[in-house]
Amino acid sequence: MKSYGMALDLKDNQEIRDKYIEYHRAVWPDVLAGLRGVGITGMKIFLHGNRLFMYLEAEDAFVPKRDFPRYMESGRAGEWDELMRTFQQPISGAAAGDWWSEMEEVFDLNW
C-alpha cells in the first residue's frame, strides 16, 4: 500500500469554496469508479482557508504520473476534472505543469 499527500489551492472566493464543497458532498459515481479503477483505495480531501490537502492510499502498483492520466480517460472523470479546475489553482511553488503538487512525507507514527 502506498500513500500520498498532495496540495492545491481554491480560488479566493466564498461562493467558489461553497460550490466546491457542495460538489464533493455528491461526487459523480463515474468519478469514484474511475479512481478505484486505477488502484486508489482511499482518498480524503481537507480544506483550510483556501488550501486543499489530499491524502490518498493506493495499491503498490499505482504510479501517479501514469495512472492519473489513465483515470482521466475513464467515464466522466475528465469532465469532473475540467469542472473542478474552474475552482482551483496550483499552490505557489508548484512545478511547471503540476496541478496537485505532491508533498514529501516527513513523518509516520508507525516508522
CATH for 42 = 3.30.70.100
10: DSSP letter: E
Tell me which residue range forms the domain holding 70.
2-90
CB 23 within 8 A of CB 83: yes
Where residue 108 falls among pLDDT bands split at 50, 70, 90? very high
Asked if the structure places residue 13 within a domain, the reply is yes
Nearest to 50 by CA among 20, 5, 79, 27: 20
H helix intervals, the chain: 14-24, 29-37, 64-72, 77-85
Asked if the structure places residue 95 within a domain, the reply is no
3-state DSSP call for residue 2?
strand
Asked if the structure places residue 24 within a domain, the reply is yes
3-state DSSP call for residue 22?
helix
105: DSSP letter: P
Asked if the structure places residue 55 within a domain, the reply is yes
Q: What gap in Å lies between CA 28 and CA 30, rounded to an integer?
A: 6
- Total structural domains within the chain: 1
Asked if the structure places residue 17 within a domain, the reply is yes
Asked if the structure places residue 107 within a domain, the reply is no
Per residue in 68-105, pLDDT (tens digit) is 999 999 889 999 999 999 999 999 999 888 899 999 99
Per residue in 39-73, pLDDT (tens digit) is 999 999 999 999 999 999 999 999 999 999 999 99
Asked if the structure places residue 108 within a domain, the reply is no
